[in-house]
Amino acid sequence: MNTLRAAVYGLIVGDALGLPVEFKERGSFCIEGMTGFGTYHQPPGTWSDDSSMTLATCDSIREKGRLDLADLRRRFENWLFHGAYCAGEQLFDYGQTTYEALTSGHGLSDFWSNGNGSLMRIIPLAFLDVNDSDIDVVSALTHAHALSKEACRIYISVARGLLGGRELPYILKEVEVSNHFFRLKELARMPESQISSSGFVVHTLQASLWCLLQTDSFSEAVLKAVNLGDDSDTTGAVTGALAGIIYGYDAIPDDWVKTIRNKELIEHCLF
């Protein structure tokens, strides 16, 4: 069954697979399973800010029974400033735009604040009865530029199509996008050399959907994503959430799930 659990665990597994090689150049490594240490010297199964902010979002929805922006912001602040929703005891990774937004109390709306920090945490909204305006304001808690908000809307639209049993190529054929995202219509024909895995939100969305189009299983999709390098944990997370929806929870390798740290917290946050 395609459930929130499949999406969230898919996201966290993708995050944890990619974390040890974050910022590494494509082709300089090969991830074939769950490893540890690397970039942040964290044990295997450790997740990063992608998963922490997703869990904070889930936990807010679970407790409030609806979308509550003030509560959601408080949970993000509790994560950033007090280490809540972390795999271990300490916070070790956060995006600069997210930090500035939560410190200042408002999302950043300049073009250069279009990292993937809202896209990486938005998947729980696919399981709520929310509209595009709701998606926009959740993104804008940290990332308030039109590009970031559009990326989140596209991602949720794709997720909902997948939850409805539709296939990704047909969803992408019909989804409405601005000129900034026109390459989504051409992804299936694009070679890896034309796929960027930087932290720019447009690149992350393109790379993640490309990985799903090029593969036929959960494992293949997330491994292709993290092996693109650069912002490997977020590409893995964004890919993993949709791969979880497509292939289901049982398709996530059991040994990867067993390696994930702090599963008690994950289970607590699901709604």
Which residues define the annotated binding site?
48-50, 231, 233-234
Contact 141, 75 (CB under 8 A): no
Pairwise CA distance, residues 191 & 157, whole Å? 25
- Report helix, strand or coil for 245: helix
CA dihedral 148, 53, 107, 238 (to 10 degrees): -10
Annotated binding site for Mg(2+): 48-50, 231, 233-234
Pairwise CA distance, residues 102 & 41, whole Å? 26
- Report helix, strand or coil for 143: strand
Residue owning tokens 């997720």: 159
Instruction: Read off φ and ψ for residue 36, nearest 5 degrees.
Output: -145, -175
For 17, the token pair is 């697979």
Contact 227, 262 (CB under 8 A): no
